[in-house]
Amino acid sequence: MLEGVRVFTEGYWYLKKEHEDIIDLFEKNSAVLAINGLHFSFRITGFLICNNNPVVIFPKNFVTCETCFKTDASILLRTLLRYRMEKIHPEDESAFLNGNESNSNGRIISAIMLLNDYQNYGFLKRVEKIKTTRSNGNIDWNATINKTIPIINHNRPIYVEPIIKKTAYNANHIVIQIHKAVISECAELWGWITGFSGVSVSFSMPCSAEDAVRILTKELTITYANREINVLRNMIAYLKCKIGKNTQEHIEMLATPYFYYTWEYICSHVFENQYGVWSSILPQPAWKETSGKYNISQRPDILFAHRDCFYILDAKYYDYNKSLPGWQDAVKQLFYQYTIENSKAPPTVRALSSVNYLYNAFILPENTETEIKYLGYVEVDNVSGLNKIHAFAMNTRTAMEAYAGGLKSKLKFEVIERLKAL
């Protein structure tokens, strides 16, 4: 796809002998790789750094191509950057998204932050006060009188070369040199994914990474501008990760082993989930005549109302060509709808008083160019009171882009219109 960048798809099998460095790094990490004889596959979706080269792992069944690869990788990166900020993650997933003792993603996340900052503001600047006799500007009279010899003309001193006070940018300041070197390296690693085209000359690090961290940490104590504080912190994070990157135990990745959770958040955004508004009307099963009252919580993925319709949606990251939601998935959706429709609780009755239609649907990923595809429905034959659960495939790329950018999506209304037409 792109020189120096390796591209994989989660769940797809590859030959071990063609990627021996990856095998060496992750062979004992079963959370990252599945190994079967001569082949291996990734169990994660996201980004790695291996031998100082980027590795991109797309979600299961996601289809990219030569012309759209950069865009797709950028969408995936922005999706994961937003997803890692969501409130709740399992502990093992958090290690992939936020790092732990053996995994750090500073050279990925910090690099992106630094490149974005550079594209907006350029290199850091350090201004120094200098004194010169070879420039125009404000005269430093104290220095001029004390350090220069005037010419006497008509009993008056004339200072032919007055000392001028001025400020100048110091391009050789050690912090500036470090910033230039870090940006150069970040651009080489991740410039392709951010559309970066700012640095045409490669800058070398003026000192070791360890010394650079010490210098930047000291600089941070005397810096008060928010932009510079963020840049210094990101450079420190980036360099700290670089210091340990050559150890066998050190892993650099931004990824998730549970992209189906990501898909739930993506769908929740696309359909403007109103779960927080409607969750209080959900009837909840509860144990009776026991030592205490124990509720069995109902938790649909997505609830929302639009005009006189109410929608119960379930996000499922399945390849519909190979499998569809099964018994447990269907039974839960049917029960959600049945209990909501038949609840006699006054709050539920009042909340749904203006609702004339209630729709139930699965939302699966679509990995062709189709935006919305109707897949069919599931129902229980010869049983009254249980409605259909429809199934739609939604364009993964379009949905991810909306989620990554926090954008309103037309996909929601396409599903609404398709349901109304059924």
Q: Residue 176 has what pLDDT?
A: 95
Q: Does an H or E element contain 56, and which?
A: strand 53-58
Count of all residues that appear for the chain in the document: 422
pLDDT in tens, 135-189: 677 777 787 777 788 888 887 888 878 877 767 667 789 999 999 999 999 998 8
Q: Residue 101 has what pLDDT?
A: 65
Q: Residue 265 has what pLDDT?
A: 98
Q: Which of 421, 422, 389, 420 is nearest to 308 (CA)?
A: 420
Q: With cut-offs at 50, 70 and 90, classify the pLDDT of residue 351.
A: very high
- Point out which residues pair with 54 in neighbouring strands: 49
Other Cβ atoms less than 10 A from the Cβ of 420: the count is 12
Q: Which of 354, 279, 265, 285 is nearest to 312 (CA)?
A: 279
Q: Minimum mean pLDDT among 151-160, 268-277, 343-352, 411-420: which range? A: 151-160
Q: Specify the 3-state DSSP secondary structure of 15.
A: strand
Other Cβ atoms less than 10 A from the Cβ of 298: the count is 15
Q: Which of 77, 43, 48, 79 is nearest to 60 (CA)?
A: 43
Local structure of residue 16 (DSSP, 8 states): G
Higher-pLDDT residue of 166 and 245 is: 166
Cα 274 to Cα 305: distance, rounded to the nearest angstrom: 8
Cα 391 to Cα 251: distance, rounded to the nearest angstrom: 39
pLDDT in tens, 27-78: 889 999 999 999 999 999 999 988 888 999 999 999 999 889 999 999 999 9
Q: Which of 317, 323, 407, 406 is nearest to 363 (CA)?
A: 317
Q: With cut-offs at 50, 70 and 90, classify the pLDDT of residue 248.
A: very low
pLDDT in tens, 253-312: 999 999 999 999 999 999 999 999 999 989 988 888 777 667 788 899 999 999 999 999
Q: Minimum mean pLDDT among 144-148, 296-300, 371-375, 418-422: which range? A: 144-148
% the chain with pLDDT above 70: 93
Cα 151 to Cα 158: distance, rounded to the nearest angstrom: 5
Q: Residue 251 has what pLDDT?
A: 74
**Which whole number is the average pLDDT over 184-195?**
89
Q: Over 50: is that where the pLDDT of 247 sits?
A: no
Cα 11 to Cα 31: distance, rounded to the nearest angstrom: 12
Q: Residue 252 has what pLDDT?
A: 84
Structure tokens at 24: 């060496």
Place of tokens 């939601």: 325
Q: With cut-offs at 50, 70 and 90, classify the pLDDT of residue 85.
A: very high
Q: Specify the 3-state DSSP secondary structure of 282.
A: coil
pLDDT in tens, 110-119: 999 999 999 9
Structure tokens at 236: 């420190």
Local structure of residue 184 (DSSP, 8 states): H
Other Cβ atoms less than 10 A from the Cβ of 277: the count is 12
Q: Over 50: is that where the pLDDT of 94 sits?
A: yes
Q: Over 70: is that where the pLDDT of 244 sits?
A: no
CB-facing half-sphere around the CA of 103: CA atoms within 13 A: 24
Cα-based distances in Å from 409 to 39, 98, 272, 307, 317: 39, 28, 9, 18, 19
Domain range annotation of the chain: 6-123+173-256, 127-169, 259-421
Q: Minimum mean pLDDT among 48-57, 91-100, 241-250, 261-270: which range? A: 241-250
CB-facing half-sphere around the CA of 228: CA atoms within 13 A: 14
Q: Pairing relation of β-strands 6-9 and 53-58?
A: parallel
- Whole-number average pLDDT of the chain: 90
Q: With cut-offs at 50, 70 and 90, classify the pLDDT of residue 419.
A: very high
